[in-house]
A and B are shown apart, each in its own frame.
Chain A
């Protein structure tokens, strides 16, 4: 589904990703871990098309399409959605406006008509309830004045409504209390199926207790230094990153 090959990215002339390879297949959940500043958010930002990143080498394919040739909104419509480490505040635009506009954009891209209002309302109410979000959040401006945890839940709400093929969730667990963590994990798990994939960026095993990954990767200094199954995350939890860094340097 997602194939990243030899990806080199610079930010303001500074190399951040230095030959990164990553393949994610449909039905899989991948976790990316690694020290601060390693380039995890950079990877997801480049896939989502954020300005300011220069790809100097390599390629990103999503279902065989060249992602780097697609507009930001085309990527999302194709089913590639990023949940931000720091969700973006959208002044004055109500959650409900964003959800409807986004959903209709995706439907239009698939050649479907606009969702009828009653069906849409039913959908967003259901999904809000799943995320334990009061319906009043639908009338509030996107992320404006939301607490850290509310913002993260709101990112997942968008995923639940838009049903991406590949959900990339950057530190979706940061800032969540214990109950919210469960709610968010349940939301993410409900997205799992044989046709979809999930890419989780996290620092903590805690999240992976709730969302069991098929693969775990360690990103160090712009490259995947080590990959393994879920036991790698447990090992990292007890041993830290130093040994991976040393091993990959050797």
Chain B
């Protein structure tokens, strides 16, 4: 049996009264996946990322969504004021979710319910941006699509509290896979902050294959945070697809700390004037972690704007990939597109492959891109040591500072703090950098 067949064997039996559109879509996904199979490194888009660990794996499907409540509360973001939707190995957990106080005009629900009850509303949207031909993983996702989060905002709706989607990964006896979908439909001039948070038990060794689709109508604003803190054995593949109309804004924070093998694709289509997208990215990898970020901005209309800043910190024998494409369509004038990628190598065995690509078919554009890779500034290490700070601490401070530039853009305090602590906390505990972070915050507040 081929690898694709082995994965598709796991497709659950579906009830016959499911809407036919979803059945047809799943079938198309399965057919496509079976035809193309897993990507290999001969494929240009996968040149630096070997997915054999996924392809050769044997993953079941979770059968329940039990997760220790105390552990959940201890690990989650301290966002008591959030609208919360929780999935455990891809299965919806009503117990851990919390959706009481949503304002009028906003709906947040699990995909399984939306398929049942609101087929008409989501049928046209699900899979519209993430076609089965985007990658073998979107095809695979489509074949399995039955759960995830559907977020809909009626025109003019502003959701003040963040919408917090948690995807937990358990240490199962047998590794499992999940194919959650995120569907965000933001009506004209609506506004919300959405968080996707991946974490779980330290021993978890599962495969998560998530697809996020974001449709922004005129003037809609979405802040999207992806905080990936999966276990160091988890395999994680994600794609985020964004469709933007006039004057809409999408701010992405793609923060990756966990996972053994991680691939993120980000695609934003700026389809009408005034659309603006910002990509902020940070990853911190150690050991033999592998993180691959592929980003694409399509400037399909004049007067559209993009700004991208991705940073990577790599230690030990970790491997990072950054591939950032900016595409300006013929005669899409008055474009501004900026891209920056900086990487910090803490070990000489760590490796980064970085490739910015600008493809421009218009003349009235302001574009810039830059990529730097370096080590810590030894003069700065010396400067800190002359003040009595030991060498390891000096390096930790400089590393935190490197991450700090992206983190300063993070508007959600709990996330900024979490990531700073994660970066600092990976370094030996006695440095107590977390305490330093706190002091800086306290001084700011006075």
Contact = CB atoms under 8 A, between A and B. Distances in A.
B445 to A, nearest CB: 10
Nearest to A141: B401
B398 A93 contact: yes
B443 interface: yes
B440 A97 contact: yes
B386 A76 contact: yes
B398 A91 contact: yes
Given A88-B380, A90-B398, A120 B388 contact: no
Interface string A55-82: 0000000000000000111011100011
A117 B439 contact: yes
Interface residues of B, number: 31
Majority-rule SS of A interface residues: helix
A225 interface: no
Interface in A125-159: 125, 135, 138-139, 141-142, 158
A75 B385 CA distance: 9
A81 B439 contact: no
A47 to B, nearest CB: 11
Contact of B397 (A82, A88, A93, A109): A93
A92 B387 contact: no
Given A91-B377, A96-B440, A117-B442, A73 B383 contact: no
Given A72-B385, A76-B387, A121 B446 contact: yes
B387 A102 contact: yes
B435 interface: yes
A11 interface: no
A83 to B, nearest CB: 10
B393 interface: yes
Contacts of B389: 73, 98, 101-102, 105
Contact of A139 (B384, B385, B397, B444): B444
A142 B383 contact: yes
Nearest to A87: B383
B436 A100 contact: yes
Interface in B19-71: none
Contacts of B443: 96, 121, 124, 135, 138-139
A86 B427 CA distance: 31
B202 to A, nearest CB: 29
Contact of A90 (B384, B390, B391, B438): B384
B382 interface: yes
Interface string B394-412: 0001101110110000000
A96 B382 CA distance: 18
B380 A91 contact: yes
B438 A117 contact: yes
A105 B383 CA distance: 15
Contacts of B383: 88-90, 142
Nearest to B404: A92
A89 B387 contact: no
Nearest to A118: B442
A82 B386 contact: yes
B86 to A, nearest CB: 35
A105 B388 CA distance: 6
B123 to A, nearest CB: 48
B387 A162 contact: yes
B107 interface: no
A88 B382 contact: yes
A97 B405 contact: no
B384 A98 contact: yes
A101 B398 contact: no
A51 B383 CA distance: 12
Contacts of B391: 73
B17 interface: no
B379 interface: yes
A81 B386 contact: yes
Contacts of A120: 439
A49 interface: yes
Contacts of B377: 90-91
Interface in B76-123: none
A182 interface: no
A80 to B, nearest CB: 9
13 contacts: A73-B388, A76-B388, A88-B379, A88-B382, A93-B400, A97-B436, A98-B387, A101-B393, A102-B384, A117-B435, A117-B439, A125-B446, A139-B440
Given A89-B383, A92-B398, 11 more contacts: A71-B385, A73-B390, A76-B388, A92-B402, A96-B443, A97-B439, A97-B440, A98-B397, A101-B436, A106-B388, A139-B443
Interface of A: 48-51, 71-73, 75-77, 81-82, 88-94, 96-98, 100-102, 105-106, 109, 114, 117, 120-121, 124-125, 135, 138-139, 141-142, 158, 162
Interface of B: 377, 379-380, 382-391, 393, 397-398, 400-402, 404-405, 432, 435-436, 438-440, 442-444, 446
What 9 A-B pairs are tightest by C-beta distance, nearest first? Answer: A92-B401, A88-B383, A76-B388, A102-B387, A72-B385, A105-B388, A77-B388, A90-B380, A93-B401
